Amino acid sequence: MKSMPLERRGISNSRLVYGCMGLGGDWAGSPLTKEDYITAEKAVEAALEIGITMFDHADIYKKGKAETVFGEVLKNRPDLRDQIILQSKCGIRFPDETGVHRFDFSKDHILASVDGILSRLGIEHLDVLLLHRPDALMEPEDIAAAFNTLRSAGKVRHFGVSNMTSAQMRFIQNSLPEPLVVNQLELSLARLDWIEQGILVNQKAGLNTNFADGILEYCQMADVQIQAWGPLAKGLFSGAAKVDSPETVKNTAALVAQLAAQYEAEPEAVVLGWLMKHPARIQPVIGTTDSKRVLACRDAVRVADAMTRETWYALLESSRGVRVP
């Protein structure tokens, strides 16, 4: 299996990313507790144990507390910073005294956001900064000015986006001297529109597919790393299916369990392995704070390497509920 785009760029060879959104307690702004710190430490240790060396943040996660608690982990382990790749996102603004919920890719906001991220994490630079969802008012020249300032100051080394179409990426890229290296999208065995968009070309069944055309192809041609958020589908196929779940979910969970036994792996590894088998060399971002579930993902690479085309399509068909056209 060929290497990932981030690996080819010399940025990271971590096949999985640990997503830190769940760290930091609640979303209400309550003070961090001792238990919040313990949860973060256990999650980070579990991620490191299975070979994860890339960690994903965003300035809004738990209103900054996710980065703060992770910063404490780094403070307690000063050797760790040089062993990992840190990625964060900015551009989403919650309602405040100046306005409603909104997106903001202005130069001033990007610069201020990065300063806050670095302060909360207690680090001098970010390895990767992503723009967090598209801003309808984005101006590529303003974004480029912010990126150039951050790069020149040594605060950010690489840049990317999340949840963007290929057209939006090209629109921004046209003003940038350096390539965008990541696009983070929701992809999973339960969220199949990214597959449907391709296999339902010239099919009536594809008229209602809601996934922008050409994202996967553009990212592969431009050597952009596709990262998948929500890759475990909230555990639907690895233990969270209920009696009243749709038949497609229950049948797919049963198939995943069968394959897990066949591969001598956990169901989570099968679900992730299915994603990672795709030629785009998708990099899943796992977000569970349960260290046992993190450890259950350890064989995802091995499963992906072993999975046949027939097995991949069997899982796709099971989740779709109908055969491919």
Residues acting as catalytic residues = 61
Q: Specify the residue for token string 């930091």.
A: 24
Long-range contacts (CB closer than 8 Å, 24 or more residues apart) made by 22-25: 22/66, 22/287, 22/288, 22/289, 23/61, 23/62, 23/65, 23/66, 23/69, 23/70, 23/289, 24/61, 24/62, 24/64, 24/65, 24/66, 24/67, 24/68, 24/69, 25/62, 25/65, 25/69
Q: Specify the residue for token string 């780094």.
A: 74
- CA 102 to chain centroid, in Å, comes to 21
How do beta strands 102-103 and 17-19 pair?
A: unpaired
